Structure 1
Amino acid sequence: MNPLASQRPVAVIGAGAIGLSLASALARTGRPVTVCGGREPVHHIEVTEDGVAETWPVRHVSDPADIAGYTAAIVAVKAHQTAAVADWLRALAHPDATVLVAQNGVEQRERVLPYVGPAHVVPGVVYLNCERTSPGRVILRRAGALDVAVPDDPAGVALADELNTGRMRTAVEPDLKTVAWTKLLTNITANALTALTGRRADMMRDPEIERIARNIMAEAVQVGRADGAALTEAHVDRAVHWLQHVPPGSTTSMREDRLAGRPLEHDALTGAVVRAAERHGIDVPTNRFVLALLSAIEPTGVAA
């Protein structure tokens, strides 16, 4: 790790469960953390894993000008919230900035490039299962042997080095497209089905739910192949196995958003599959059905 990197602050745009968990890894390396915007000021972040809590002081800012010149940022707002943080992203539009886009889906780079311009965009595929319990506080759960995957380019390699130093298990992947589509298989099933039913991820062990999940994934494998991802039917088996063995009580971000009455990010997940299917002339009836159901859910703004 570059010893000077630890002296440079990292901006967190989207101080939810994922953003704060990733920020905690960089805080362990000595980087000061700046939390950008939000309804409530956050002056400390607390991440609890296996019952053990760690706390770090952070700086909270409310003006994008406060992060002008920053060379590192984590973008962890939901995909559909990207345009709402455009001013924060534009503050990072310079060639010295590295922007980790920790969003679901397969369109991370395309989503932020219009705002960050010459910055180095690092799409991140995140496997953490974490839950924000209150502003600045997160319960972190890890599933499997990997927490984050980033592309095999200079910016990705440097960021992976830092994250690994901060105990965030990060892999550099030469074929991130396949990795992202593989992760999408789990998102379009677990996120969608938990949001539609209100149940936690344990539901994936139900045989009938597993059957539906396999249909959703099989369609997506066809689409992913057409889009250049090296997917096989074995990816479906591995995704189902992974989902059926996540830590007990695990939830999904879409389920939590549904229960809280917030907008859902189905367009970046199932919507991405349907859009790619249309580009390649592939019929995906199950995914279209799921997308229609999710699109019919109206935000209430009131927690359930």
Structure 2
Amino acid sequence: MITPTTSLDWVLLTTKAQDTAGAEGWLRRLCGPGAAVAVLQNGVGQEERVAPLVPEGTGILPTVVHLSAERLAPGRIRHHAASELHVPEGPLADRFAALLSGSGLQVHRVPDFTTAVWRKLFTNLAANPLTALLQQRMGVFADPGMARLSRELLCEAAAVARAEGADLGEEDIARTLELYAAAPPDGGSSMLYDRLAGRPLEHEFITGAVVRAGERHGIATPLNGMLLTLLRAVDRDLRAGRA
């Protein structure tokens, strides 16, 4: 049993981004002097999300997760692909890599984390909303029209990512489309799995992150904005128990 005086060296925060605030009580109870929180979440701005929720002085390590897994039932997980964690290089990253050494998870320490976190957002940006809205798995991207739509969504986001300081371009768009094409047809996305299970969606931290950053920089994102409007409508029904 965890008591209010328990303090750990590491806390791994793996809630969905929209559930971060709900973990505040746990974070404050578990994080004492010298503790660090690895934030394993989608989206950008992980450190800013968590900083107000932990005791002063707690280390925060934003962590990009490259791992496709599906929860089939309590305690039963299907691993589809990849097992990589990307973190900004530095002392916390070194500690985290040592913690997970031999675990099967590969920790990559990267010098340009802004680019890394936006590159991961790319992998979610078309796959998550489109599979969730259509309630179809990754095989849907074999359709040439879906591939064209995905490219247009990513082109919008690439302009926003560059304005945010990420070094992303055509190669990243092509790489993401190749990833979609090579994905197992019966695989899915975390947002699809949430919709199928009747859980709230993570759209505000994926599609919404692009739309809001576009607004900050005066960059139009009409396609991503349209998807965000549709996802918000679906999410309202999920939260009301109607979907």
TM range (shorter): over 0.9
Q: Structure 1 residue 94: deviation in Å?
A: 3.2
- Corresponding position of 2:35: 97
Residues 150-189 of structure 1: pairs in structure 2 closer than 5 A? 150-189=87-126
**Equivalent residues of 2:4, 2:30 under 8 A apart:** no
Q: Structure 1 residue 273: deviation in Å?
A: 0.7
- Corresponding position of 1:10: none
Stretches of structure 1 that go unaligned for 5 or more consecutive residues are 1-60
- Corresponding position of 1:280: 217
- Corresponding position of 1:127: 66
Identity of matched residues, %: 41
Residues 225-236 of structure 1: pairs in structure 2 closer than 5 A? 225-236=162-173
Is structure 2 residue 127 aligned with structure 1 residue 190?
Answer: yes
CA distance in 2, matches of 1:224, 1:161: 31
- Corresponding position of 1:216: 153
- SS in structure 2 of the partner of residue 156 of structure 1: helix
Residues 199-214 of structure 1: pairs in structure 2 closer than 5 A? 199-214=136-151
Change over 3 Å in CA distance of 1:282–1:101 after alignment to 2: same
- Corresponding position of 2:49: 111
Which one-letter code corresponds to 2:47 in the other structure?
Answer: R
Which one-letter code corresponds to 2:88 in the other structure?
Answer: P
Q: Structure 1 residue 139: deviation in Å?
A: 1.6
Residues 143-154 of structure 1: pairs in structure 2 closer than 5 A? 143=82, 147-154=84-91
Bigger drift between 110-119 and 217-226 goes to 110-119
CA distance in 1, matches of 2:164, 2:134: 30
CA distance in 1, matches of 2:228, 2:174: 23
- SS in structure 1 of the partner of residue 86 of structure 2: strand
What do residues 204-258 of structure 1 show as CA deviations (whole Å, max 9, x unaligned)?
2211111111111101100000001011111100011012112342111110111
Q: Structure 1 residue 301: deviation in Å?
A: 7.1
Q: Structure 1 residue 92: deviation in Å?
A: 3.6
**Equivalent residues of 2:8, 2:32 under 8 A apart:** no
CA distance in 2, matches of 1:302, 1:164: 42
The number of residue pairs the alignment matches comes to 240
Is structure 2 residue 228 aligned with structure 1 residue 291?
Answer: yes
CA distance in 1, matches of 2:52, 2:239: 30
Task: Normalising by structure 1, report the TM-score.
Answer: 0.75
- Corresponding position of 1:75: 13
What do residues 243-294 of structure 1 show as CA deviations (whole Å, max 9, x unaligned)?
2112342111110111121110100111111111111111110110010000
Higher percent of residues as helix: 2
Is structure 2 residue 76 aligned with structure 1 residue 137?
Answer: yes
CA distance in 1, matches of 2:242, 2:224: 27
Residues 57-68 of structure 1: pairs in structure 2 closer than 5 A? 61=1, 65=4, 68=6
- Corresponding position of 1:267: 204
Bigger drift between 279-288 and 85-94 goes to 85-94
- SS in structure 1 of the partner of residue 182 of structure 2: coil
Q: Structure 1 residue 181: deviation in Å?
A: 0.3
CA distance in 2, matches of 1:176, 1:92: 26
CA distance in 2, matches of 1:221, 1:91: 39
Which one-letter code corresponds to 2:67 in the other structure?
Answer: L
- SS in structure 1 of the partner of residue 37 of structure 2: strand
